[in-house]
Chains A and B, each alone.
Chain A
Amino acid sequence: MSELKVLLVDDEEELVSTLVERLEYRQIKAVFLLTGAAAIQRMREETFDVVVLDLKLPGISGIETMRVIKKEHPEVPIILITGHGSLANEEDMPKGAFDYLPKPIDLEILVQKIREAVAVK
């Protein structure tokens, strides 16, 4: 199995940089970016298997970023993360997202979701 390439977008650098390192240990190559604008730009230059996106971002919001990425790269699954707790039910999940994880993230679940997303793709 070729190595997966994931793009992490969150304005908490401490969080994403750590996540990147931890994902490396689990044979997932990850790149992190701090803003939605940077993510959209990077996606145009490079291909990623999965995008993990925080809903609350400075500048362009998470939802807006997701909309643009979905439009430009409909094949790339997006997993959302948020500090706003878990969803009450499935319908509340923003349209187009593959899944939704509350902060703090359980890394094992994130890895599992990433693999599921790629498998579905």
Chain B
Amino acid sequence: MAEHEEKIKFNIENEILPTPLVMPRYRKLKRLSIIITSLVALIPLFIVTLLNYYQDQEAYHAETRYTISRLLSNTQKTLEYAIKERRSALSLIIHERTYEELNSQESLKTALSNLKESFGGFVDIGLIESSGLQTHYLGPYDLRGKNYQEQDWFKEILVRNVFVSDVFMGHRNIPHFVIAFKHEKPNGDFYVIRTTIDMDLLYRLIYDLDLDKNTDAFIINREGLLQTPSLFYGNILDKVKISVPEHFRQREVIDEYHEDGMWLTTGYVYIEESPFILVVIKQRENPFFHWFYRRTGLIWFLLLSAGLILAVVIYGSTHTVKRLRELDKRRVKIFHNMEYTNKMATIGRMAAGVAHEINNPLAIINEKAGLLKDLVLHTENCPNQDKFLKLADSITGSVERCSKVTHRLLGFAKRMEDNIEMVDLKSLLEEVVGFQNTEIAHRNLKVNFAFDGNLPTIESDRGQLQQVFLNIINNAFAAVDDGGQIDISTAPCADREVAVTITDNGSGIPEENLQNIFEPFYSTKGQFGTGLGLSITRDIIDKLGGKIEVESQIGKGTSFIVKLPCHSKRVAFQEKI
């Protein structure tokens, strides 16, 4: 029988199911399915969120730029106007009167009081000769007789006619700036009218902007020195840390990131005909937090959707892969059924044919030997009568042995069909081992039986049980070395169940193979096994309502425990598929 099994090998492996139906394969499939589906579903969601983030950033930037731009524009106009207005006033005074008219304390006093009255912001006024000497002065300090020849602004005015100075400390050591006018005398000489402008003019300008705590506005000169105090960069005449922007008529707004973790948007504009640059700096929120707080709803929606998608994907993939595994299992079951039926039908036909053909000549031998005996017995004084009788008995004895084999074969073939009957496990196991007597003798194997005396006969399919035990015992024989030992025992177990344990003292099965040995197409015998033996075995036991367990220890051996119900719980094969 074992040989038949080897010969009638179905080459399913290469054609239909190339890989064993083992768990890791399905786990991998599930993982892959979850990852790919999640990515496909989640990536667009994240892209949309990212787009929203960038759009939000852009809107925020635009808004900041716009605010700064407006501030710059308004302040620039006011400042330019304020300076222009004062220059025009001075211009009027100079052009209205002659040098002679101006060259008196009285006249300057009238001029200063007129200026203060009409425009405000003027602190003092002085008349300076081309030598740099201030000949007349009217104001809160005593500056009459001071010589400005060495001062920068005076050198400057020699080349220009009108001059607006930076803020500087000067003789009085308080910050101020001056506006000076040069005027030619008819004799070719010149004189200068110089007036100090109250810093309140600049302070008020900034103050009037009514800025929030994140916004700083100040004026710097072209060297980057503060002309008004700054919220972020210190006091008057301190050097600001920002680089002085290049001269450009238009307003310029720049996004900058500063190392100290502040997000700053800076705007600046050059004030015409003055050394001043107006700067507005707005400290922005961290762009991510700004987005995060403004779009909390969207982020919640994103997280919820992602969670929901993941849940659905995981559930879906798990379910699909489970279904796939079930379908694969079903498919394998159908193959089993096909293979099993084919194999058994072939074996059955062969066995029956062989047995029948042998039985006829056996019957003839049997009768001839019998006749020989009859003749010897009925012949008076037959010489060597005893010897003849012995020989004839030997022949009929051998015939009986042969006929036992043929009857067993015939019985086996008949039981291939579904057939529930009362089965005595003891005789069945002995019979199965009996099939292997030659191998046992050849390989000097030791087979021990330990049958429980009270074991009931069970309701089951004799032929299929034979197949099951033949398979397991065959495997046991393959597992042990020559001279190995196989123990077969039966015992009642649990409620209305019996257990058959087949233990070998072979090499054992490694843990990692143990969980797969019942999987279809799983074989450790390389090209010699179909990987179907134990899988079919488990299927048959399943159908008979029993179960099979395996225990193994490397180097010590393996035990297969088959538990069978005493009463048939058989489910028709067709129903199970």
Contacts and interface: CB of A to CB of B under 8 A. Distances in A.
A15 B414 contact: no
Contacts of A47: none
Contacts of A88: 411, 414-415, 419, 421
Contact of B362 (A84, A86, A103): A103
A18 B368 contact: yes
Interface centre among A12, A14, A56, A85 (most CB of B within 10 A): A85
Nearest to B378: A25
B371 A21 contact: yes
A19 B363 CA distance: 10
B355 A85 contact: yes
Interface string B339-365: 000000000000010011101101111
B192 interface: no
Given A85-B407, A86-B407, A102-B407, A15 B364 contact: yes
A15 B363 contact: yes
Contact of B370 (A22, A89, A102): A22
Contacts of B365: 104
A102 B352 CA distance: 13
Given A84-B352, A85-B411, A104 B374 contact: no
A107 interface: yes
A84 B412 CA distance: 12
Contact of B359 (A19, A83, A89): A83
B262 to A, nearest CB: 98
A89 B421 CA distance: 10
Nearest to A83: B359
B184 interface: no
Contacts of B356: 56, 83-84
A105 interface: yes
A105 B366 CA distance: 8
Nearest to B399: A104
Contacts of B410: 84-86
B367 to A, nearest CB: 4
Interface string B376-409: 0010000000000000000000011001001101
A15 B367 CA distance: 7
Contacts of A85: 355, 359, 406-407, 409-411, 414
Nearest to A17: B367
A77 B468 CA distance: 42
B416 to A, nearest CB: 12
Given A25-B374, A83-B357, A84-B352, 19 more contacts: A12-B364, A14-B364, A15-B360, A15-B363, A18-B371, A19-B367, A83-B359, A85-B355, A85-B359, A85-B410, A85-B411, A86-B410, A88-B414, A88-B421, A102-B407, A103-B359, A103-B403, A104-B403, A105-B367
B461 to A, nearest CB: 12
A85 B405 CA distance: 10
Contacts of A86: 407, 410-411
Interface string A79-116: 00001111011000000000000111101000000000
A102 B360 CA distance: 10
B354 to A, nearest CB: 11
B20 to A, nearest CB: 38
5 contacts: A15-B364, A83-B357, A102-B403, A103-B362, A105-B367
A104 B371 contact: no
A83 B360 contact: yes
B374 A83 contact: no
B365 to A, nearest CB: 8
B370 A107 contact: yes
Interface in A13-45: 14-15, 18-19, 21-22, 25
Contacts of B399: 104
B155 to A, nearest CB: 135
A17 B20 CA distance: 61
A22 B367 contact: yes
Given A12-B360, A103-B360, A83 B367 contact: no
A113 to B, nearest CB: 16
A104 B355 contact: no
A106 to B, nearest CB: 8
Nearest to A92: B414
A44 to B, nearest CB: 28
A56 B357 CA distance: 12
A105 B364 CA distance: 9
A14 B365 CA distance: 9
A27 B230 CA distance: 145
Contacts of B359: 83-85, 102-104
Contacts of A15: 360, 363-364, 367
Nearest to A18: B367
A85 B366 CA distance: 16
Interface centre among B367, B368, B406 (most CB of A within 10 A): B367
Contacts of B352: 84
B371 A22 contact: yes
A104 B364 CA distance: 8
A104 B370 CA distance: 11
A83 B366 CA distance: 13
Interface in B269-314: none
A71 to B, nearest CB: 28
Interface centre among A15, A21, A103 (most CB of B within 10 A): A103
Contacts of B378: 25
A18 B370 CA distance: 9
B402 to A, nearest CB: 8
A85 B406 CA distance: 8
B484 to A, nearest CB: 34
Contacts of B415: 88
A19 B364 CA distance: 9
A21 to B, nearest CB: 6
Contacts of B419: 88
A89 B406 CA distance: 18
A104 B414 contact: no
Contacts of B362: 103-104
A105 B407 contact: no
Nearest to B357: A83
A105 B363 contact: yes
Nearest to B366: A104
A25 B357 CA distance: 29
Contacts of B400: 104
